[in-house]
């Protein structure tokens, strides 16, 4: 569907029409949005991070997660029945990591997804310390069932450069315990990983969906602990019930089709 937006101005005897054509061909809905501009974390079910004005990506605030204090931290959103996505989900956020972050082994779980607090399906996305690669593991109560890549690299030299980086994840649940699920991950608009045979759920938990979204979850593995300076910043977090762009594979691009039309009056 095409939508036209026109601005009309008058200069002497000429009429200027500026028309912006933007494509709008998706039916996905946004389920959660927080840029922390309220200065609070009231949208979150669990929030051990704190709102800060220290170099937000946009607006006046972002969230800081201080792993350096040695505590288990998390920012958790609970989307219950009737709200949580049931077939597909899409997550977008921005993350900033300072140069002092030392990425303990198993790093930090930049996304953790769960069906319930105890039983059901889960998925964890986390960085490791050796190469700033990242791993994803999906599993369920009773055992692991998919770990498609042990180390797919994100950024040469690592993410700890003090800049904001955009992360996007799309998932589509597999059906009837088959290996036909989808997982796509983008970093700064570049496709970093894609699987069309991903297993999110099997057997007893074949109808589970993710209702608990941790952005982020804990860091370290209980032995390799975080250290002083290990603070991670998140901003502009979104959760959708599907892809918010048309072709289902590529991140959105800036609006195109800008037209300047000058006609005599």
Q: Say whether both 54 and 125 belong to one domain.
A: yes
To which residue do tokens 């840029």 refer? 35
The tokens 């996505």 sit on which residue? 85
**Are 97 and 83 contacting, i.e. CB atoms less than 8 angstroms apart?**
no
Q: What is the pTM of this model?
A: 0.80
Higher pLDDT, 63 or 118: 63
Cα(154)–Cα(173) distance, rounded to whole angstroms?
24
Q: Tell whether 40 and 155 lie within a shared domain.
A: yes
Mean pLDDT computed over 71-77: 85
Q: Cα(57)–Cα(152) distance, rounded to whole angstroms?
A: 26
* 163 and 96 within one domain: yes
- The pLDDT assigned to 136 comes to 82
Q: Say yes or no: 4 and 99 in one domain.
A: no
Domain with 109, as residue range(s), is 27-244
| Residue 92 predicted with pLDDT over 90 | yes
Same domain, 106 and 10: no
Of 20 and 119, more confident: 119
Q: Structural domain tally of the chain?
A: 2
Contact present, 107 and 212 (Cβ < 8 Å):
no
Residue 223: what pLDDT? 66
If asked whether residues 204 and 265 sit together in one domain, one would say no
Which band of pLDDT confidence, cut at 50, 70 and 90, is reported for residue 19?
A: very low
């Amino acid at each position: 569907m095409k939508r036209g937006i026109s601005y009309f101005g008058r200069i002497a005897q000429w009429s200027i029409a500026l028309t912006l054509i933007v494509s709008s061909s998706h039916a996905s809905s946004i389920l959660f949005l927080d840029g922390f501009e309220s200065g609070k974390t009231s949208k979150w079910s669990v929030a051990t991070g704190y709102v800060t004005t220290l170099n937000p990506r946009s607006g006046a605030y972002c969230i800081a997660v201080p792993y350096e204090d040695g505590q288990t931290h998390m920012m958790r959103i609970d989307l219950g029945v009737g709200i949580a996505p049931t077939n597909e989900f899409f997550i977008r956020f921005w993350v900033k990591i300072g140069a002092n972050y030392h990425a303990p082994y198993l790093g930090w779980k930049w996304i953790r997804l769960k069906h319930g607090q105890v039983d059901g399906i889960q998925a964890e996305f986390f960085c490791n310390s050796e190469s700033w690669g990242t791993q994803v593991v999906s599993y369920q109560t009773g055992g692991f069932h998919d770990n498609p890549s042990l180390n797919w690299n994100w950024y040469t030299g690592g993410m700890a450069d003090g800049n904001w980086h955009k992360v996007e994840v799309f998932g589509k649940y597999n059906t009837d315990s088959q290996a036909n699920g989808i997982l796509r991950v983008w970093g700064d608009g570049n496709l970093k990983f894609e699987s069309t045979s991903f297993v999110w759920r099997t057997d007893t938990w074949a109808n589970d969906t993710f209702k608990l979204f941790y952005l982020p979850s804990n860091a370290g593995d209980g032995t390799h602990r975080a250290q002083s300076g290990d603070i991670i910043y998140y901003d502009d977090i979104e959760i959708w019930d599907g892809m918010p762009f048309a072709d289902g594979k590529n991140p959105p691009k800036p609006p195109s089709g800008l037209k300047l039309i000058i006609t005599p009056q």
